[in-house]
Amino acid sequence: MNKKTFTNPVFLISALVILSLVVVGAIVPERFGRVAELLFNFTTINFGWFYLLAVFIFVMFLIAISISKYGKIRLGPKNSRPEYPFFTWIGMLFSTGFGSGLVFYGVAEPMSHFLNTPFPGLEGLTEESARVSMGYSFFHWGVSQWSVFAIVGLIIAFLQFRQDKRGLISTAIQPVIGKNRFLGGTIDSLAVIATVMGVATSLGLGILQMNGGLKSVFGLPSSIWVQIVIAGVMLLTYLLSSSTGLNKGIKWLSNLNLGLCLVLLLYVFFSGPTVFILNSFVLGLGDYLSNFIQYSLRITPYQGAAWVQEWTIFYWAWAIAWSPFVGAFVARVSRGRTIREFVFGVLVVPPTIACLWIAAFGGTALHSDLINGTNIAEVVDTNLEVALFESFTNLPFTQLLSILAIFLIFTFLVTSADSATYILGSMTSRGSLNPNLFVKIVWGVLITAIAIVLLLAGGLEALQTASLISALPFTVILLLMVISFFGMIKHITREKD
């Protein structure tokens, strides 16, 4: 192992913090869960408004900069061109940014909103609640979530490939904080910790859903021991993939994920209620666009309802916790693209695929409950993990679909974890584009361990809590990055690409 990495304070501090959380969580999981819940409630009640406002600012900033004169600036030398073909690039963005989260929530979210509606007074299990559920699901998986990834990715890519600087969070805000090594190291350590918690949340959700799928298909019990075995197999697989490098394992898995997603999507589209899916997509898109500002800034101080905290604020916190990792990875694979092309690719294409996915899978489940009288919504309300597999029961080749879905979830998990170990290795190796294999192994083990601890400490609720807490300080850092970046690009407005 490289001695410089071993003595790097960012690596030592962040690894020790995560290791401490793993040990405490393993020894006293119930108390760990209770403390996490208290912190969850504190951040939700006091800072929910802050998450909503910050993400809305990110969206507006990205749109403005992409259509301005700055949109021509290339993320690399003037004569550089994109390193990866468009399909591969989108596959990498999609696999890394969504992970297994979209597969988990693609049916679970619209069916949850269909039963337990976002608005007080709106009755569940009705045509109106079905419409609202689709529009709100589009909103949660649309532009806002990806704006967080795009902000980090754009700034780091600009630093690495345009200004030839280290792709670290602390470097991105040096124009604001100065070259203070202690403060810079603290910020980079916070970014690493937030990343680990965000990735662990996604892995935990995927493990829960795989367990639900294995129970539905093969009758395996839903238990922590099965989940630990799944985590162990996943760890071995993504460490093997990680050893092959960025241009082999991750690239191949990303193409596989996107291809398999499209196959499943097309099958459900044509074998399910095709016209209903198309109508749901168009209407949901219209509702999403017309309600964008309202949903972006919606909070309920007069009603005291917890729905926004449990859904929108959780999603934004989860995205912010993911952002150092996803943003850094997006930056790494976006060399040579213009700011305008980058913003379009990151902010439009993956969210569009997500909305199509939700319309197909969520729309099929909604149609089944509304038209055929099934009770998928009630089953999902009891157990979110089986939502996708429950929706397959009304389609041909249910067993085969379920097996393919389990495989897709697994490859998504491996791709996300593989990408995460690479980025965490880079973040704790002073921004190296080729981090040491030992460092990647350390982070792979710690990510899996914290995911297991969170499952022990309270399952889905503990996973959600972890994301929300770790995201709070990083939201401030993201806003500082925006200010810093705008200051940097103002100095190169006369450059021509």
41-71: pLDDT as tens digits: 788 788 989 999 999 999 999 999 999 989 9
Q: What is the pLDDT of residue 5?
A: 56
Which ranges of 251-308 does DSSP label H, i.e. alpha helix?
Answer: 251-271, 274-290, 292-296, 307-308
**In sequence order, what DSSP letters do the residues of 402-436 get, joined into one string?**
HHHHHHHHHHHHHHHHHHHHHHHHHHTTTT-SS--
Per the domain annotation, does 329 fall within a domain?
Answer: yes
Per the domain annotation, does 494 fall within a domain?
Answer: no
Give CB contacts under 8 A, 24+ apart, made by 30-37.
30/457, 32/453, 32/457, 32/462, 33/457, 33/458, 33/461, 33/462, 36/457, 36/458, 36/462, 36/465, 36/466, 36/469, 37/458, 37/461, 37/465
Q: Is 121 left (phi over 0), alpha (psi -120 to 50) or beta?
A: left
Domain count, the chain: 1
Residue at token pair 């699901």: 137
Tokens of 173: 């805000």
Q: How do the pLDDT tens digits run along the chain, 497 residues long?
A: 455 555 678 888 888 888 887 788 778 877 877 787 787 778 878 898 999 999 999 999 999 999 998 998 898 888 888 888 887 887 777 766 666 678 888 899 999 999 999 998 899 999 999 999 999 999 999 999 999 999 999 999 998 888 888 878 888 888 787 777 888 888 888 888 888 877 787 788 788 888 888 888 888 888 889 999 999 998 888 777 766 655 565 667 777 777 888 889 999 999 999 999 999 999 999 999 999 999 999 998 887 668 998 899 988 988 888 788 888 888 888 999 999 999 998 999 889 989 999 999 999 999 999 998 899 999 999 888 888 888 898 889 989 999 988 888 888 788 777 778 888 888 888 777 778 888 888 888 888 888 888 788 766 666 667 666 778 888 999 999 999 898 888 776 555 54
pTM for the model stands at: 0.89
Q: What is the pLDDT of residue 249?
A: 59
Per the domain annotation, does 109 fall within a domain?
Answer: yes
Query: Could you give the angle at the alpha carbon of 9 between the alpha carbons of 7 and 12, nearest 5°?
Result: 80
| Number of residues assigned to the chain | 497
Q: Which domain holds residue 87?
A: 3-489
- Grouping H, G, I as helix, E, B as strand and the rest as coil, residue 124 is coil
Residue at token pair 């006091």: 46
**CB-based burial of residue 171 (10 Å sphere; 0-12 exposed, 13-18 middle, 19+ buried)?**
buried
Per the domain annotation, does 496 fall within a domain?
Answer: no
Cβ atoms of 5 and 11 within 8 Å: the answer is: yes
Q: What is the pLDDT of residue 63?
A: 95
Per the domain annotation, does 212 fall within a domain?
Answer: yes
Alpha-carbon distance of 493 to 490, in angstroms, equals: 6
- The neighbour count for residue 397, using CB atoms within 10 Å, is 12
Q: What is the pLDDT of residue 497?
A: 45
Per the domain annotation, does 281 fall within a domain?
Answer: yes
Q: Cβ contacts of residue 307 below 8 Å, gap of 6+? A: 116, 118, 300
Instruction: Provide the mean pLDDT of the chain.
Output: 85
Per the domain annotation, does 495 fall within a domain?
Answer: no
Sign of CA dihedral 351, 337, 88, 485: negative
- CATH number of residue 352's parent domain: 1.20.1740
Q: Cβ contacts of residue 304 below 8 Å, gap of 6+? A: none
**In sequence order, what DSSP letters do the residues of 369-404 get, joined into one string?**
HHHS---HHHHHHH-GGGHHHHHHTTSSSHHHHHHH
- The neighbour count for residue 276, using CB atoms within 10 Å, is 16
- The neighbour count for residue 75, using CB atoms within 10 Å, is 24
